Each structure stands twice: as structure tokens, then as C-alpha cells.
Amino acid sequence: MLTIYTHQGRRIEIILQSELCDPVNMGEHVRAYCHIHGSDHQRSLSINKATGWGHCFNAACNATVLVGEWNPAVAKRLLQLYYQGLFSAAAPSYRPPDQQRKRAPLVSQPVLLHPPKSTARWQQEELAALLSLDEQMRIALAHSQRVQAYLNERKISLEMALTTGVRYLPAVMVNRLEAQKQRGVLRRWAERILFPLVSPFGKGYIGRSLWHWQPGMNENVHKSLLDQPRRPRRWIKTNPAGWFGVEFDELSSSIILVEGTFDLLTLLMAGFQPTEVVALAGTAAQIDWFPPQVKSVVLAFDGDQGGKEATSRLADQLVHTGICVRLCSPPQDTLGKDWNERWRRMGPQGLSSISEAFLNPE
Ligand SMILES: [Zn+2]
């Protein structure tokens, strides 16, 4: 067990699975006797199996724990920050967190840890239903001419979509589901292209509606169609949601961060490697999600107001964590406001600024 304090004075015990005292399985959670305060008559330690985060319900103890093996990405990150001296270890004689903070190096505190809130039952059912259909949705994507026409319109190949785990849920597949409950939870996902998401809290999906999209229909025309009242939402997400890209551990040391899932597919079409690009997909960039091997990041968000704000906020946080940051928004010309639009119109030339930022660090 390793006790660390974040700069905010938060105390976290990183523990190993083998340290759990007589654990029992309780569905989503594991309950164990708390070895931190030494209880042996109540299993007061409750740990979420999916996230590794747990809590001791004994009021005098109130420990926050992370089981390392159950959430290696976050545990690795915490340990790395600890060994870099950005966090303080608990000294043999206990010091209150205030004093710990004074001893810590002068680094602005970017690390915000958010043990996840528990998800609603319908959200759990929704995610489980989608995961159970993953293979069928892959086959549906491979066979749907309509979706292929849509991808073609965006100059994304079917092969690239399949390689990155993109899926399609046709309305007919939802209607054919035997269980009425599953039909209910998945109705809002019908006729959507799905993108798999990764997060420290598990897998998820984000889905883009193709409702009333017709081959030849321009992206902006379809957007305005869906933006009317009482239409399906253009994008919906599961809980947990997350980022679109490879698993955190597989990311390269130098990455490009983009806003949208189609931006990511566009960059891969242009020759970037899957390990080099991450799309936030509408989930805020959590600084503690960046795995330790990432040393440099190109922020390639949209040039609009929202993109600019996200860029400057995140750039500050990344720099404070010691990550090298370069900025590259789509150029302010008339050739396309996002990377996919530029790719459609100009091909590789439309992405030349991003290649320069990525390949030529200063
Ligand atoms: Zn305890």
C-alpha cells in the first residue's frame, strides 16, 4: 500500500488486490474488511470493480482507495506523479495534508481526480446491451450501403472505419431484439454510427444519427435537419463516455488531440498512426487521463470560440504537468472549418499545417 496526498490535500491509498482482506463479490462492487483502519467485524471497504476506486464506510476511517490492478492506467499516472515529486508521500509520522502541501514543489496543481459517480441503472443496461451487440453492429457496418455512402461523402474508407472499431446499429436490428427491455433502452441508438470510447472507467460509445440522411446530402444540410426541435439528437453518449482512440497504454509519446471522431478518422486516412491521434469526442480533456508515456501533444481543435477556449485551458494544464504542447487549429481560410471538411475538399494538402506541427517540434 502506498499513501499519497494530492496537492488539494486529498489522501489516496493505492493498494494491491492481494491486500484486500477476505473480499466478497457483491455485483458491481467488492466488499472487504478494511485493512487501513483494521476492521475485522464489518466489510466496510467497498470497491467498484469496473473503476478500481473504493471507499471505506467507517466514518472514522473514510479512506479513498484505488486498487492498482483494476485501474492500471490511473494507478500508473498517480505513481508517476508521485515519483516525480508532484505528489507527496505520507511520512512515517503523520503530517496533516496542509503541511504536506507546503513541502511539495511549486507546481500549479493540474491533477484533479474524479472518482466516478455511480451510473443510473438504465445507463448500465444501455451500455451492456450495446456491448452485447458489438459484433453484430460490426457486420451491419460492413454491409450497409447507406453508411458506406455516408463515409464516402466524408472521404473515410470502410476499411479505416472497421479498423478503428466503428459500428452501425440499424433500426431493424433494434426492432428484432427479443427482450422488450433491450428494445426500449436501445431505441435512441437506432440508425446511428457508433464510435467506441475508452476511459479509465471502462468502455463506452458515442453515436452519430443518420436519421433522414440521404446519399449526396451535404453534412451541413443534415446538421440543420437534425437541429430542429423534436428530432433525434445529432450525437448521444453512454455513461461512461470517454475518448475515441486506442487504449491509453498504447498511445505513442507524441500525440495529436482533436475534437471530433471524424477528425480522428481523417488524420488516419492522411497517414497518421492510430497510436498518434486521440479524439475527445465531447468528453472534457481530463489531465489525469494522459498516460505517463505521453510527452508531447499537438492540440488541433477547431478554430471556433469553443475550440479556442478548450485549447488555452488545456494547454495551461498540460504545460504544468511537464508535457510539451504545440497548437494547430485549422487555418482561418475558406477551405474548411474542420479537418474533415478540409480533407474532403483538398486531400492531404488540407492537413499540411497539422503535419508540420507534428513532425517539426520547434
Ligand atoms: Zn477503513
pLDDT digits (tens, 9 = 90+) for 17-48: 999 999 998 878 899 999 999 877 888 899 98
pLDDT for res 107: 32
331-354: b or e for each residue (b if 16 or more CB lie within 10 Å)? Answer: eeeeebbbbbbbbbeeeeebbeeb
- Distance from Cα 321 to the centre of ligand 1, integer Å: 32
- Distance from Cα 102 to the centre of ligand 1, integer Å: 27
- Distance from Cα 42 to the centre of ligand 1, integer Å: 10
Compute the distance between CA of residue 78 and CA of residue 94 in angstroms, rounded to an integer. 20
- Distance from Cα 41 to the centre of ligand 1, integer Å: 12
- Distance from Cα 7 to the centre of ligand 1, integer Å: 22
Residue 166: pLDDT over 50: yes
Name 118's Cβ contacts closer than 8 Å, sequence gap at least 6. Answer: 48
The radius of gyration of the chain's CA atoms, rounded to the nearest angstrom, is: 23
Tell me which of 96 and 284 has the higher pLDDT: 284
Instruction: Provide DSSP, 203-261.
Output: -EEEEEE-TT--TT--HHHHHHHHTSTTSPPSEEE-SS--BBSS-GGG--SEEEEESSH
Residue 29 sits at φ, ψ, to 5 deg, of: -115, 160
Model confidence at 220, pLDDT cuts 50, 70, 90, reads: confident
DSSP bridge pairs for 194: 167, 207
pLDDT for res 151: 97
User: Average pLDDT of 281-300?
Assistant: 86
Compute the distance between CA of residue 74 and CA of residue 82 in angstroms, rounded to an integer. 12
Of 143, 151, 204, nearest in space to 172 by CA: 143
Residue 3: pLDDT over 90: no
- Distance from Cα 59 to the centre of ligand 1, integer Å: 8
115-164, pLDDT tens digit by residue? 456 788 899 999 999 999 999 999 999 999 999 999 999 999 999 999 99
122 CB neighbour count, 10 Å cutoff:
12
Tell how strand 254-258 and strand 296-299 pair up: parallel
- Distance from Cα 221 to the centre of ligand 1, integer Å: 57
List the end-to-end C-alpha distance of the chain, in Å, as a whole number: 42
Tell how strand 254-258 and strand 277-279 pair up: parallel
pLDDT for res 74: 83
Model confidence at 92, pLDDT cuts 50, 70, 90, reads: very low
DSSP bridge pairs for 53: 66
- Distance from Cα 118 to the centre of ligand 1, integer Å: 20
Instruction: Using the Cα atoms of residue 273, residue 247, residue 339 and residue 221 in order, give the sign of their dihedral.
Output: positive
Between 54-68, 182-196, 281-295, 337-351, the lowest mean confidence (pLDDT) is in: 281-295
Compute the distance between CA of residue 206 and CA of residue 116 in angstroms, rounded to an integer. 18
Of 238, 281, 235, nearest in space to 262 by CA: 281
- Distance from Cα 64 to the centre of ligand 1, integer Å: 9
190-208, pLDDT tens digit by residue? 999 999 999 888 899 999 9
User: Average pLDDT of 77-88?
Assistant: 72
User: Average pLDDT of 1-7?
Assistant: 79
* Residue 195 amino acid letter: F
User: Average pLDDT of 270-290?
Assistant: 90
**8 A C-beta contact, residue 241 and residue 196:** no
- Distance from Cα 37 to the centre of ligand 1, integer Å: 4
- Distance from Cα 23 to the centre of ligand 1, integer Å: 14
**8 A C-beta contact, residue 158 and residue 151:** yes
Model confidence at 219, pLDDT cuts 50, 70, 90, reads: confident
- Distance from Cα 95 to the centre of ligand 1, integer Å: 19
- Distance from Cα 36 to the centre of ligand 1, integer Å: 5
Residue 82: pLDDT over 80: no
- Distance from Cα 35 to the centre of ligand 1, integer Å: 7
- Distance from Cα 61 to the centre of ligand 1, integer Å: 4
User: Average pLDDT of 279-293?
Assistant: 84
Q: What is the mean pLDDT of the chain?
A: 86
- Distance from Cα 335 to the centre of ligand 1, integer Å: 59
% residues pLDDT > 90 (the chain): 54
CA 139 from chain centre, in angstroms, equals 25
Of 327, 202, 182, 192, nearest in space to 257 by CA: 327
51-79, pLDDT tens digit by residue? 888 888 888 888 889 999 998 888 887 88
Residue 119 sits at φ, ψ, to 5 deg, of: -90, 150
230-270, pLDDT tens digit by residue? 999 999 999 989 999 999 889 999 999 999 999 999 999 99
Model confidence at 7, pLDDT cuts 50, 70, 90, reads: low
Model confidence at 101, pLDDT cuts 50, 70, 90, reads: very low
Tell me which of 359 and 275 has the higher pLDDT: 275
- Distance from Cα 1 to the centre of ligand 1, integer Å: 13
Compute the distance between CA of residue 213 and CA of residue 2 in angstroms, rounded to an integer. 54
Burial (Cβ within 10 Å: 0-12, 13-18, ≥19) of residue 60? exposed
pLDDT for res 87: 59
